[in-house]
Structure 1
Amino acid sequence: MPTGALVFRSATDDDIPALVALIESAYRGDASRAGWTTEAHLLEGRRTDSEGVAAVVHQEGSRLLVAERDGEPIACCQLENRGDHAYFGMFAVRPTLQGGGLGKVIIAEAERAVRAEWGAEEMRMTVIRQRTELIAWYERRGYRRTGVLSPFPYGDERFGIPQRDDLAFELLVKPLG
């Protein structure tokens, strides 16, 4: 495992290929099974692609936060300014580094950054409701389930190929005061 200090920065175009690989490795396929955040049992196919990551990098009011060690991206997350709150998404930690506390550090930095940079008073995210272990992890970080569901985009393979017909996203929120 790399030993250097953890550095946070905004993603650039040069990061896109490495970030696509990182995000894919955390969510889909056999590589994702090395960590605990896999959704390979729920979805097959791709989690994202170069165009999807580039859209986040270039979107006005959006930032793809990269955590790197020794110059190598090991985690990332999307932060989007939505006025009174920020949206948190595309969270990925290298599977072989999951379970060691790195995710807690990344989400804490994301929360600090949106308060400091945008004055966000709340962080929101959507999580596939069937991912109970992941939702429990977010609850331990202070997020609460709202019961507000939004449909999974069935038929749009940009989000993966569902392996069941009851997927939905649940809104989680956390005050940042």
Structure 2
Amino acid sequence: MEARPVTPELTYRDATDADVDDLVALIESAYRGDSSRTGWTTEADILEGQRTDPEGVRDVIRATDGKLLVVERDGRTVACCQLEHRGDHAYFGMFAVNPEFQGAGLGKLIIAEAERQARDTWNATEMHMTVISVREDLIAWYERRGYGRTGRMTPFPYGDERFGIPQRDDLQFELLVKKLG
């Protein structure tokens, strides 16, 4: 008999202002700098500088039409994601999993919970997200979760260092969409 991975006990809660510093550190560790290279979601080769800042995280926490979910395991923050209500659909963003836990199946569980909450809380019929179009491995991961590429692009905010310092000139965001059943 093959060993099966044990499903970790995860808890989900809405972020508060008290979580801001921990969440900024988590998001930065998942996407920027050398610490992000231990996971597979790093953007360190395409963007330098910050991924977010306390003000940006605080804005998501305080948004009246959404929330920032904190995901904990054994009392430790291991991931987060943004959910925003936008009419008949929800927007999924600011998704970060601690690099130590990437590749262990947590991402699948977290995105499924985010989809469930969007459906149950807002009756959302679709989940939307934007991904940097050159992140083929990340887009493929989302496609395996049922998200489809739309080909609809929006420009990367070049010159706005709040989103990082681009290391290439071809960055843009592609809209991915999934129907929620």
Q: Structures share a fold, TM > 0.5?
A: yes
Aligned match of 2:47:
43
| Counterpart secondary structure, 2:115 | helix
Change (3 A) 1:173 1:4: closer
- CA deviations 1:76-118 (Å, max 9, x no partner) are 0000000100000000000010001000000000000000001
> Are 1:169 and 2:173 matched, yes or no?
yes
Residue in 1 that maps onto 2:133:
129
1:13 is matched with which residue? 17
Distance 1:60 1:154 in 2: 28
Counterpart among 8, 21, 33 of residue 29 in structure 1:
33
Supply the distance in 2 between the matched residues of 1:132 and 1:140 (Cα, whole angstroms).
12
**Cα distance in 1 for residues equivalent to 2:8 and 2:133:** 36
Is the counterpart of residue 112 in structure 1 residue 91 in structure 2? no
Q: Does 1:59 align with 2:63?
A: yes
Pairwise mapping of residues 58-97 of structure 1 onto structure 2 (< 5 A)?
A: 58-97=62-101
Secondary structure in 2 matching 1:154 = coil
Q: Normalization by structure 2: what TM-score?
A: 0.95
SS of alignment partner, residue 79 of structure 2: strand
Tell me how far 1:71 sits from its aligned partner.
1.6
Which digits, 9 at most, give the CA deviation of each residue in 1:15-58, with x for residues without a partner? 11100000000000000000000000000000001000000000
The answer as to 2:145 corresponding to 1:150 is no
Distance in structure 1 (CA, Å) of the matches to 2:81 and 2:49: 20
Structure-2 separation of matches of 1:16 and 1:73: 12
Equivalenced residue count is: 175
Q: Any stretches of 5+ residues in structure 2 without a counterpart?
A: 1-6
Question: Unpaired runs of 5+ in structure 1?
Answer: none
Kindly provide the amino acid, as one letter, of the partner of residue 55 in structure 1.
Answer: D
Is 1:99 aligned to 2:89, yes or no? Answer: no
What SS is found at the alignment partner of 2:103? coil
SS at structure 2 position matched to 1:38: coil
Q: Give secondary structure in 1 for the equivalent of 2:64.
A: coil
Paired position in structure 1 for 2:4: none
Deviation, 1:4, is: 7.0
Question: Is the partner of 1:109 in helix, strand or coil?
Answer: helix
Q: Provide runs of 4+ in structure 1 moved above 4 Å.
A: none
